[in-house]
Amino acid sequence: MGSSYFTSPLTLIVSTLFDLYVLIVLLRFMLQLMRADPHNSVSQFIIKSTSPPLRYLRRFIPSVFGQDASAIVLCLVVTYAKFVLLRLLDTEVVHINNTIAYIGGVSYLGLLIYSIADLVSLFLSIFLIAILIQVILSWINPGIYNPVIGLVNTLATPALRPIQKLIPPVGGIDLSPLFAMLMIMVAKMLIISPIMNLANQ
């Protein structure tokens, strides 16, 4: 058995655990930004699971325009640590927004740029997934409410509201989710690739 026999599962574990934590921290930032209900049970889980490192970082990192900049810094640090650790595990490439990122062949500054691209991609993906979940739930169980659905609606609303003002329902069908998802996917294509290209310069 070659070294890759153990390295591949370890790479998967590292990527999954780091990505999950970054997702939770980024969700905390986004929910604060959108003034979600902090008493929601899911919000409480997110707050409690991310408070220890953020409490420490806030000693050194002030808020920016009233927003918790320490959460973004923590996301970048964890994402950067993920890429460094993956490189130490001899992982040459990863995928960011379905694009190959050669983490084995760039400088440590390049890894930081990849970290920014990965974080921006995740930020946009959260809107995309929230809209998709909202659409599916509207088909399956319209009108039902639970803490998860409340947060999904909070995340989807900022992306849908501007489009709903421009495109009214057609025949009683709200087309805004379709256009919002399309615009987010186009934004990811236009934003992520140029950032990633900077890492290779």
For the chain, which residues make up each domain, given as ranges? 4-199
Nearest Cα to Cα of residue 17 among 77, 111, 82, 80:
82
pLDDT in tens, 177-200: 999 999 999 999 999 999 999 988
Q: From CA 179, how far away is CA 152, in angstroms rounded? A: 18
Q: Is 194 left (phi over 0), alpha (psi -120 to 50) or beta?
A: alpha
When the pLDDT of each residue in the chain is averaged and rounded to a whole number, the result is: 88
Regarding predicted confidence, which is higher, 121 or 166?
A: 121
Q: From CA 3, how far away is CA 34, in angstroms rounded? A: 46
Which two structure tokens, joined as six digits, stand for 35? 């003034």
Residue 178: how many CA atoms within 13 Å on its side-chain side? 7
Q: pTM of the prediction?
A: 0.89
pLDDT in tens, 114-127: 999 999 999 999 99
Confidence band of 43 (pLDDT split at 50, 70, 90): confident
Residues 177, 180, 184, 190, CA torsion sign: positive
Percent of the chain surpassing pLDDT 90: 54
Q: Which residues contact 30 (CB under 8 A, 6 or more apart)?
A: 123, 126, 155
